Structure formats: structure tokens, C-alpha cells
Amino acid sequence: MKYPEDTGGRKRWPWKHWQSVAVLLMGYDFVAVCIAYFLALLLRFDMNIAQIPVRYLDTWLYSIFPYALCCVAVFRALKLYSSIWRFASYVELVQVFLASGILLLVQLGWTMLIFSVTMPLSYYVWGATFQLIFTLGIRFGYRFLNMERSRLKKNAAHYEPIMLVGAGKAGQMILRDINQNEYGGDGLPKTEGSVSRVMCIIDDDPNTWGRFIEGVPVAGGRDAIPDNVVKYGIRKIFIAIPSASVAQKKEILDICMETGCQVKQLPGIYQMVQENVTVSAMQDISMEDLLGRPPIRVDLDNVFRFLRGKTILVTGGGGSIGSELCRQIAGHQPGKLIIFDIYENNAYALQLELLEKYPDLDLVVLIGSVRDSRKLCALFSEYHPDVVYHAAAHKHVPLMEDSPCEAIKNNTIGTYKTAYAAMLYGCERFVLISTDKAVNPTNVMGASKRLCEMIIQSFDAKIKAGAAEDLPQLFTHDPATDTADYALPDITEALRHAHTEYVAVRFGNVLGSNGSVIPIFKEQIEKGGPVTVTHPDIIRYFMTIPEAVSLVLLAGTYAKGGEIFVLDLGSPVKIDTLARNLIRLSGYRPDVDIRIEYTGLRPGEKLYEEMLMAEEGLQKTQNNLIFISHPIQFEMDSFFRQLQTLMDAAYQNVDGVELRRMLMEIVSTYHPARDEQPDRRP
């Protein structure tokens, strides 16, 4: 900060506007104190100055000026001249009362001890009262005038009508913040255009109905929302009930969404820090709020204790699930974190993010494919990861229907090669990221992931039976003319001592992940529509990325080998409902402002997904929302022979119909779409 200099070259402190106001306020207080006690004396003698005894007038005259100076000094000591009075509150009020009490004692002692005159009792009472009125009046009057001027300005201006849901402490603070400050229609500080104004309040407590908070009526409970939206022309709804349960909030959100208003809410964390609630804390409704179930809460302390100090490999580490896995693991002191991904842009962005947040993290980022057995061999040989989270996969159903051989190469054979390398190089635990599409699959992607689950079960069973040498190496080159994929000094010894535990984690669609419907819908809404939904009745299970990652991490800790972990995701959600809610959240009306277009089921797509096959049962875990499915038995040696044949066919890029026929022979639950049904005959 630069200061002007005087002629002597010395810096001078700049004079501020508030200091000028403080000087004027001091002068006012000095005069007000003098007048207050003169009025008290005048009032005592029936407002007739001629009746006032001379000794009383002399005492007032000679004592009042020193006393007024003392008042100014006390006010200054209590910082009453440096307060911002347009924001004056209970604290300033207490300070003024405290100062007045101290000064009343000073006045008593001043007149009685110094002047040896006892003034009438009413002189002290009324003098202190007038002094309090005058000093408080100028201060809080300034605040009142500011509020009234703001109110009149809002009344005169075009305003954005708002409905406030919640008459509790948080709601009152939001209302007060809006009344004291000018906010634009977007809930941000106003620059130009309309200002926000709360027209009515909704609360489920009947005791508040028909009453007012700062002049705003409490119009009824949640059932009154639609009628009052029409009555007051509401455009936006602010929900300020941070302590409400998920179910209660979901019911209120459903009603608000039907009104076509834009909805914002106070996040639940604010119930702990309600002293700081302002309009700026309001957030847009997220799709997670509309899932209709509470978020899955998982205690990961044991998980991170298990991972601490270990070398962790995440394949597909740049993807939606893989990157969140890396973020969670990076913050809990792994010995080394290895990100392995084929797409360098995502991997590089994640590398920069993690190193910035965790500069001491031992991070390795490698670019490569899980289809490259030599690359995998080099990776495991150099770093010997203790735990592998296998998230690398092709996940887009329609694309894999058009390129079925790629799904087998990447998903199935890539999983096999990664699992085999983990076994040979002494990995402690291998966690496969699977999908609900693996259950009774109708598409190649789902069938390829079901094969991955079968691979995991086979590896675990063979290792536990001491028969790891029965697991074939699936070569994609001629071993007679090339070096073996896994060049250990003694591969037989490594197989004999194999101890890796294998586990799969199966969950549904992930909100906000790459390629999920939410980003697609948002992009379509931004373009003005139409929003494309494949079928009005299609339903899906949904989970958030943190929930998915929590399940994956927990599975790696619960694992004893061979399990398929399943998350209880509650009720499935209709994609059509999801699209309509997202349109409403964006402030538009479905089929009015933004059109919804039904395009028909895509190749390999089914109306609903399942988390379990009919043959599978459920076993509880320590978490009542996480279950273990009992693995379906199959003939493993025959499975390996079929898998070898399927791999050869995929690398020969056989016709899609032929590949589907082979898949149906291996995966008995695979039933492709009727128009793509291949002949089951060999």
C-alpha cells in the first residue's frame, strides 16, 4: 500500500471516510448526552425552566461537559465508533447497553462526590434513558434507513420472485441475507436487472402456518408448494432444510420439480455451521439427490490401513472409476501408486493433479495396453505390485456390438493376461471391476465381462487347489519363434507358490462417468434439445463414483478369493424420469421447452439390468448394503480350451455372428438381441 508523503519525506496515514463519520458521531454523542440530561432535568420540573433550582442548573452545567467527554471515551474504548452500523446486530446493542450502565454509575459518582449535590432520582433515570435512546437511535436508525431504502428499491425494481422452503434457523438466515443484500435472479450479487425477493415460505410445521417471518408469510406445508408457485408467480425455489433426511428431501424435490421452477438447496454440511449461511451457499440440485436412496456410507479406515505402504497398480487409471481410485489411494500413504492406461491425456492430467496435491507421493504413470503381455511382464517384473485394481475395459455397449472382437481382445483377454502376470509375480490381491451387464448379458460387452468374472473365479480356484500350472498362457504370437510372454527364471517355481487372491466387484451405471447418460443429456439440453431416450420404460441401477470406488476398495479388503461383490443399489431409476428431471433442473419444461425423443433400443441393449443371475444366491458381509454372490460352477478345463479358441477367433477378426455363436457356447446366460441371434449349432 502506498502512502502520500509530507514535505519532510515522512509517510502519512491516509484519512478514510469512516474516520470522518466517526468524528461526526463523536460530536453527535457529545451533544446528545448534554441534551439528554437537560431534558431529564426539565422533565422533572414539568418542562418549566424557571422552576429548576439554581443549584441543580449549576450542577448540570459544570458536570455535563466532562461527563459527555467521558461518554465519548467509553464509547471509543468499546469500539462503538469503528463498527459498521449498517450491519449492526445484537453485539452492538449489548455494547451500547453496557456502556450506558457504566456511564450511569459515572454520572452518579460525578455529581455526588465531586459536586456534593444529590440530583433528583428522576434526573438519573430519565437522563440515562434519553442518552440510551439518542445513542441507539442514530446508530440503528442508520441501519433501518438502509434496509428500508433497499426494500423500497426492490419494490420499485423488477424482482425475481423466490419461494423459500424451510422456516428454521437456516431458512431465516437465507431470508435475512436476501433482505439485507441485493441478489440478482441467479442468486449472485446483483449487477443489473432484476433482484431476488422472497414472496412466501413453506414449512411442514403447522404452528408456523399463517404467521410471518420478517414480513414474509409462511404459506403452508410441502403440499402447498404448487398452489403458491402459481399464486406468487415463483420462478425459483430455495430449499434450506439441511437437517432433512434423504427421503424427506426427495419428496420435497419431487414436488418442486413438477412446478417447473429452478431449484437450489443448502447442502447438508451447513447444519453444522449454520452461523455462516448465506445465499452464496445455495447449490444446484444434483442428480445424486434424485436417486431416491441415502448415499452408501462405508468405513474405509481398515481399507486404507491395508493399503498403506503397499505398491498399488490401477489399470485404466485415467478413467472415471480408475482415476477416483487413484485419488482415494493417493491420499492414504501407499508405498507406490502405479497408473497404467492406454489414453495418455487422461493419465497425464491425473498425474499433474495428484503430484500437486500430494507432492511426496511415489507415483509412476505408464502408458500401455492390457492386451500387451510383454508390457505387462515388464511392469510386474520391475514394480511387483501388491494389489491390482483392474479397471481397464471397453464399456460402450453399442460400440462393442459393432466391434465385438475388440471387446474380447481388450476386456476378456486383457483381464486374463493381467491376472496371469499378477499371479506369476506374487501379487497379493487382484480386484476386477465388473458390471451388472454381465448378468444374463444381451450384448457382447456384457458377455465379455461375464467371461472376466469366470476367469477370476477360475484363477482363484486353481490357485487354492494348488493347480496354478493348469492355467494356460494365452499367447498372441507364436511361442516357437518368439520369446515367451512371461520370462521368469523359473516359471514352474512361481506357479507352485502362487498365492494371489482374486475377487470381482459388480455394480450398475455410474453417474457422471465417461460415456454415461448424464453428460450426454446435459450437452443435448445446452444445445436446446432434443434429449434422446432409447425407450420410455428403460430402467437402470445407478450409483455415484464415490460409492463405486468405496465398494471396490472394500472388496479388496473383504476378499478371501473367488467372490463377486454386489452392492444393494435400492430401486432402479427410469432413464426417462432422469432425463425429465435433468431438464427441469436446468430451468426448462420437458416436451415444452426441451423435446424428448425416443430413438428405440440400441443393438444389444435391454430394458432393465440385473445384479444377480437366478442361479446365484446372496451372502451378507459386515456392511448390510454389500453382498457376496455365490459363484456359478462350470467345467474349468473346458472353459480354458474354449477361451483359447475364442481368443484366436478374435485376433483373426472373425465375423460378428460367428463370434456371438462362440460366446453363446461359453457363456450359457448370454442371449443376444433376437435380430442378431446366431445359430447355436456348431
Identify the residue with better confidence: 58 or 432: 432
DSSP states of 224-276 as a string? GHHHHHHHHT--EEEE--TTS-HHHHHHHHHHHHHTT-EEEE--GGGGS-GGG
The number of C-alpha atoms within 13 Å of 533 and in the hemisphere containing its C-beta is 24
Query: Could you say which of 3.40.640.10, 3.40.50.300, 3.40.50.720, 3.40.50.20 is the CATH number of the domain covering 158-285?
Result: 3.40.50.720
Identify the residue with better confidence: 446 or 615: 446
Query: In 10 A of CB 232, how many CB atoms?
Result: 17
Find cell 482363484 and name the residue. 460
Q: Which of 2-6, 224-228, 621-625 has the highest mean pLDDT?
A: 224-228
How far is Cα 277 from Cα 54, in angstroms, rounded to an integer?
A: 58
Using CA atoms, how far residue 465 sits from 12, 32, 426, 459, 634, in Å, is 87, 97, 17, 10, 15
> What is the H or E stretch that residue 644 is in?
helix 636-651
* Per-residue model confidence (pLDDT) at position 194: 55
Identify the residue with better confidence: 447 or 304: 447
* Per-residue model confidence (pLDDT) at position 394: 92
Q: Say if CB 10 and CB 4 are below 8 A apart.
A: no
The answer, yes or no, to whether residue 199 has pLDDT greater than 60, is yes
Find cell 442548573 and name the residue. 57
pLDDT per residue as tens digits for the range 98-107: 777 778 777 7
How far is Cα 329 from Cα 304, in angstroms, rounded to an integer?
A: 7
* Per-residue model confidence (pLDDT) at position 302: 80
Query: Which DSSP category does 484 fall into?
Result: -
Which of 677, 682, 674 lies closest to 660 in space, CA to CA? Answer: 677
pLDDT per residue as tens digits for the range 26-85: 888 889 888 988 898 888 888 888 788 888 888 888 888 888 888 888 888 877 776 655
How far is Cα 581 from Cα 257, in angstroms, rounded to an integer?
A: 7
Q: What is the amino acid identity at position 616?
A: E
The answer, yes or no, to whether residue 357 has pLDDT greater than 90, is yes
Percent of the chain with pLDDT over 90: 27
- Enumerate residues 6+ apart whose C-beta is below 8 A from 242: 170, 266, 267, 268, 269, 270, 271, 274
The answer, yes or no, to whether residue 86 has pLDDT greater than 60, is no
DSSP states of 411-465 as a string? IIIHHHHHHHHHHHTT-SEEEEEEEGGGSS-SSHHHHHHHHHHHHHHHHHHHHHT
Three-state DSSP at 565 gives strand
Q: How confident is the model at residue 186 (pLDDT cuts 50, 70, 90)?
A: very low
The answer, yes or no, to whether residue 657 has pLDDT greater than 80, is yes
Q: Say if CB 315 and CB 432 are below 8 A apart.
A: no
Strands 539-540 and 573-574: antiparallel
Which of 174, 369, 406 lies closest to 275 in space, CA to CA? Answer: 174
Mean pLDDT value of segment 394-422: 93
Q: Say if CB 201 and CB 167 are below 8 A apart.
A: yes
pLDDT per residue as tens digits for the range 262-321: 888 876 544 444 455 677 677 777 666 666 666 666 677 788 888 899 999 999 999 888
Identify the residue with better confidence: 146 or 653: 653
Which of 174, 160, 161 lies closest to 239 in space, CA to CA? Answer: 174
* Per-residue model confidence (pLDDT) at position 229: 92
- Enumerate residues 6+ apart whose C-beta is below 8 A from 338: 311, 312, 313, 314, 317, 364, 365, 366, 379, 383, 385
Mean pLDDT value of segment 500-524: 77
* Per-residue model confidence (pLDDT) at position 156: 46
Q: How confident is the model at residue 334 (pLDDT cuts 50, 70, 90)?
A: very high
* Per-residue model confidence (pLDDT) at position 390: 95
Burial 119-133 (b: 16+ CB within 10 A, else e): beeebbebbbbbbbe
Name the phi and psi angles at 360, rounded to 5: -90, 0
Q: How confident is the model at residue 620 (pLDDT cuts 50, 70, 90)?
A: low
Domain boundaries, the chain: 17-149, 158-285, 301-510+543-567+614-666
* Per-residue model confidence (pLDDT) at position 163: 92
Identify the residue with better confidence: 365 or 483: 365
Query: In 10 A of CB 105, how many CB atoms?
Result: 11
pLDDT per residue as tens digits for the range 564-612: 877 666 667 788 888 888 887 777 888 888 899 988 877 666 666 655 4
* Per-residue model confidence (pLDDT) at position 291: 65
Identify the residue with better confidence: 660 or 491: 660
Question: Torsion angle of alpha carbons 491, 492, 497, 498, nearest 10°?
Answer: 60
Q: Do 158-285 and 301-510+543-567+614-666 have matching folds? A: yes
What CATH number labels 301-510+543-567+614-666? 3.40.50.720
* Per-residue model confidence (pLDDT) at position 500: 92
* Per-residue model confidence (pLDDT) at position 269: 47
Percent of the chain with pLDDT over 70: 75
The answer, yes or no, to whether residue 406 has pLDDT greater than 90, is yes
Q: Say if CB 445 and CB 482 are below 8 A apart.
A: no
Mean pLDDT rounded to a whole number for the chain = 79
pTM: 0.65
Q: Say if CB 532 and CB 524 are below 8 A apart.
A: yes
**572 bridge partner residues:** none
